[in-house]
Amino acid sequence: MNGADSVVECLLREGVDSIFAYPGGASQELHQAFARSGKVRVILPRHEQGGSFAAEGFARASGKVGVCMATSGPGATNLVSAIADAFMDSTPMVAITGQVFSKYIGKSAFQETDFFGMTLPIVKHSYLVLNVHDLPRIFKEAFHLARSGRPGPVVIDIPKDVQQARFRPVFPATVEFKNPYVNEVHHAADEPLRQVLALIAQAKRPVLYTGGGIVTAEAHHELRAFAERVNVPVATTLMGVGSFPETHPLSMQWFGMHGAAYGNWAVDQSDLLLCFGARFDDRITGDVNKFASGAKIVHLDIDAAEHNKNKRVHLPILSDVKYALARLVELATIDKFTPPDTRAWHEQINTWKRDHPFDSSAGFGKSPHILPQEAVATLYELTKGDAVITTGVGQHQMWAAQFYRFDHPRRYISSLGLGAMGFGYPAALGAKVACPDKHVIDIDGDGSFVMNIQELATAHIEKIAAKAMILNNQHLGMVVQWEDRFYGSVRGNTILGDEKNVGSPDNPAGLYPDFVKIAEGFGVKGRRVIKKSELREAIQEMLDHDGPFVLDIIVPYTEHVLPMIPAGKTVKEMILK
C-alpha cells in the first residue's frame, strides 16, 4: 500500500471511527485514501479551526483521542489555536497535516510552513515523517502519547511524497520508548498515602481541591468514595466540573475567579488543602503567595513538572489519581481510619452556602428582560441536568457553569486554559458525534458564536443535531464587565452591534446581526426570543427539534458575572455585588 493508505489503517487499528478533516493539495492523497477505505467517517468542517475544535469536543465528551487533519501551510496554521487549547486543557488529540514534498522543505515552497517547529511549544510531541516505513510506528507512538499520562496533542506532519510512497507496512502491536517516564504508569507508594490520611486525621478545616485530572483518569467514582469516607468537602476547578456531583452535600461546586464564594472562602481558611489532579492556575489562586496561606498542601498529580511550579507544597505525590484515590479508601479501611470531628467546619460552610449562593434569584422575577442567568437556569430545569454543555469564552461561559448543575463528568466542555473564543459550537459538533443520544447544547455569546458560525453548514450537511443557545447582549460582555469595574465604563471597541443603533431587549430593531436569518441561510432552524414569557417555550422548542437549532436569546449587556476576584488579587478582595 502507499503511505496514505497506511495512515487510514493505523487509525482503524487505534479504534478511530470519525475524524474532522479539511482537504488541500498536500493532504489530498490522504483524503483519497479515506475515500477508498470508506471505514472512517470523515467530517468536513467549513474551517480548519472549526474541525480542530470539533476534534477537541469529541475527545472531551468521549475520553477518546480526537483526530483532525488539514493540508500544509495555512491549513495547518489554522489548527494552531486548537492544538494550543488541547495542550492547556490536557485534551488527547492527534493533528495530522499534509506537508510539501520532502525535497522542497526549507525552500519556501508554495503553502510551506515549518509546522513541526512552530508547534513544539504546544504539543506533547511533534513528528515530521521523512521515511514512509516509519508511519506505522509513529502513529502507534502518537496515540499512546496523546492518551497516556497527562494527555495532550500530538502533531504528525507528512510530506506528500511520503503519502505517495509504496511500501510493505509492519504495524507494531505495542510501543516502547527509551525514556522510562513515558512507559511507566506511576502508582503512589502506601507511605505517602498514609501521610495524607494522617494529615486529614489532624485537620480541623480540610478541603479537597480537584481538577481536570479526575475527569481524565475516570476517577470520579473513586473521588466520591474517598470524600465520603474521610468526610471532606470538595471544591473543583472549572476543568473538574462534574468530577464530583454538584448536588452532593459535600460539594462546594467550583471556585476561583468567578467561582462560588463559599468554595473560595473554604479554601482560603482551610488548614489542609488536598489538591488532586489540578495545577494551581492563576484563575484559581489569584495572588499565589496568599493562596491558602494557612494550609498544609498536598499535591497529587500525574505530571511531576506541576509539583511546586506555581505553588510550593508540603507533600508532592506523583501518581495516577484513580489508583491513589482507590488505595486511600483501602488504606482507610485497613488502618481503621476515623475522620476528625469537623462538624463546626461543615456548619460554617453550610452557613456560607445559605447566605452566599450563586445568585439564583439574580432579579429573575424583577427584571422585565430575560437575564442570561435565567436562561441557563431554565435550560437546566428543562433538561433535568442531563445534557452535554459546551461554551464559547466570556460571561456566558461562567454563567453556564454557575447555573447549570453538573453531577457527571464530561458534561461541561469549555476552553479554559487558553480561553479561545469560537470554541463552543464546533466543540458541540464534536461532542454530538461522540454522544449522538444526548442533548448537546452550546451556550454561547454573540461574540464567540460568530467566530465559527460557518460550522452551521457542517451541522446541516453532516446531520449533526448540535444546538446553540446564544446569550446575545450585542457586546463583548466580559471585556465590558472589566471596563465597567476597572476602566470607568469607557468602551474600547467592545460594542458588537451598530453603535448608532445598538440593539437591546428594548430596541430589537437594532439587533445585529440577525442570527436567525444566518441560520436559515445554512439550512438550520432558528428562533429569536426577547420576551421573558416566551423563554421556556422557546428553549423547549429547541430541545424538541430533531436537527441543529440556533436559539438567539436577547439579554441586557448590563449584567456582570459575580462573584469576582480581580486578577492577581485575593479572596479578601472578592466582589460580591
pLDDT at 388: 98
Q: Are 512 and 474 in contact (CB under 8 A)?
A: yes
Q: What band does 87 get if pLDDT is binned at 50, 70 and 90?
A: very high
Identify the active-site residue in 48, 56, 141, 462.
Answer: 48
pLDDT at 184: 76
Cβ count within 10 A of residue 317: 21
Q: What angle do CA 420, 426, 427 make, to 5 degrees?
A: 75
In a domain, 573, yes or no: no
Q: What band does 476 get if pLDDT is binned at 50, 70 and 90?
A: very high
Region 238-258: mean pLDDT is: 97
The residue assigned the cell 520532502 is 102
| Same domain (yes/no): 517, 448 | yes
Per the annotation, the verdict on 48 as an active-site residue is: yes
Per the annotation, the verdict on 467 as an active-site residue is: no
Angle, to 10 degrees, between the axis of helix 477-486 and the axis of helix 395-403? 100
Phi, psi of 364 (to 5 degrees): -55, -45
In a domain, 566, yes or no: no
Per the annotation, the verdict on 572 as an active-site residue is: no
Q: pLDDT digit string (tens) for 382-433?
A: 999 999 999 999 999 999 999 999 999 999 999 999 999 999 999 999 999 9
Q: pLDDT digit string (tens) for 501-517?
A: 989 999 999 999 999 99
| Same domain (yes/no): 377, 350 | no
The pTM of the full predicted model, rounded to 2 decimals, is: 0.96
Identify the active-site residue in 111, 195, 348, 454.
Answer: 111
Q: What band does 362 get if pLDDT is binned at 50, 70 and 90?
A: low
| Same domain (yes/no): 351, 476 | no
Report the CATH number at residue 209.
3.40.50.1220
Q: Are 51 and 45 in contact (CB under 8 A)?
A: yes
For residues 505 and 509, give the distance between their C-alpha atoms in angstroms, rounded to a whole number. 9
Q: pLDDT digit string (tens) for 184-220?
A: 789 999 999 999 999 999 999 999 999 999 999 999 9
| Same domain (yes/no): 231, 162 | no
**528 - beta bridge partners?**
552
Identify the active-site residue in 64, 160, 311, 467.
Answer: 160
The residue count for the chain: 577
Region 140-159: mean pLDDT is: 97
Per the annotation, the verdict on 160 as an active-site residue is: yes
pLDDT at 176: 86
Q: What angle do CA 280, 286, 290 make, to 5 degrees?
A: 90
Q: What band does 367 get if pLDDT is binned at 50, 70 and 90?
A: confident
Q: pLDDT digit string (tens) for 9-44?
A: 999 999 999 999 999 999 999 999 999 999 999 999
| Same domain (yes/no): 350, 383 | no
pLDDT at 363: 62
The secondary structure of residue 49, as a DSSP letter, is H
Residue 411 structural domain: 372-554
pLDDT at 210: 98
pLDDT at 361: 54
Alpha helix ranges (H) inside 418-508: 424-434, 446-449, 455-462, 477-486
pLDDT at 358: 86
* Domains contained in the chain, number: 3
Whether pLDDT at 229 is above 80:
yes
Identify the active-site residue in 478, 542, 564, 574.
Answer: 478
C-alpha grid cell, residue 357:
449562593
Q: What is the mean pLDDT of the chain?
A: 96
Does the N-terminal peptide bond of residue 563 adopt cis geometry, omega within 30 degrees of 0? Answer: yes
In a domain, 494, yes or no: yes
Dihedral sign, CA of 396, 394, 388, 429? Answer: positive
| Same domain (yes/no): 101, 245 | no
| Same domain (yes/no): 335, 397 | no
Beta 66-70 vs 18-21: how paired, if at all? Answer: parallel
Per the annotation, the verdict on 537 as an active-site residue is: no
Whether pLDDT at 360 is above 60:
no
